[in-house]
Amino acid sequence: MDGTHCWIAEPQHPQWSQDRKYYSHKYNKAGISYELAIDIARSRLVWMNGPFRAGTNDAKIFSKHGLMEKLLGIGKKGLGDKGYSGKKYRRVMSTFNAHDDYCVKKFKSRALKRHEAFNGMIKRFQSMDGRFRHGPSDFKYYFESICVICQYQLENGMPLYDVLIEAILKD
């Protein structure tokens, strides 16, 4: 799982010209974030949560907005980047670990890169690649519609690459 940021027009702030809660470190401008999770075994988007102001980090969204609770409830673990490391997430999140052997490191790396490939599919749409000008309230409809289109593409001839490869399986 991972969060993805999209650049938006600066929302109105009652006092200041910019609202720091919308600040996206990825764009260095105002942004909106979505939490997405891709099934490791299949090319399938299994979780979409948002929109959130980009100033909220991925780990906070994960722990406070349902996905951590959901994973605990079904007894599953997620795979995330280093932003999810720490004692609090150990029971529900696997991240890069210095003690992982080569095969596990390769597997985790491929799974996270595959997730980034899905994020890239979303950004191929011009409304998500550039600045979204229609306001944060309309963003949800555009983003979720694009995710549905991307999922349709995955199911009909454009799947993401397989995480398990011969080199990993042989080792």
| Average model confidence (pLDDT) across the chain | 85
Query: Reduced to 3 states, what is the DSSP secondary structure of residue 76?
Result: coil
Structural domain span for residue 31: 2-170
Q: Which residues contact 42 (CB under 8 A, 6 or more apart)?
A: none
What letter does residue 12 receive in the DSSP assignment? P
CATH number at residue 17: 3.30.420
Structure confidence by residue, pLDDT tens digits, 126-143: 777 777 777 777 888 999
Structure confidence by residue, pLDDT tens digits, 43-95: 899 999 989 988 888 889 998 998 999 999 999 999 998 888 888 888 899 88
- DSSP conformation letters of 152-170: HHHHTT-PPPPS--HHHHH
Tally of domains in the chain: 1
- Of 10-14, 81-85, 91-95, 145-149, the one with minimum mean pLDDT is 10-14
Q: Which residue has the tokens 């995955």?
A: 154
The pTM of this model reads 0.84
CA distances from 41 to 33, 78, 151, 159, 164 (A): 25, 12, 15, 12, 9
Q: Which residues contact 118 (CB under 8 A, 6 or more apart)?
A: 36, 38, 45, 150, 154, 160
| Dist. CA 46–CA 37, nearest whole Å | 6
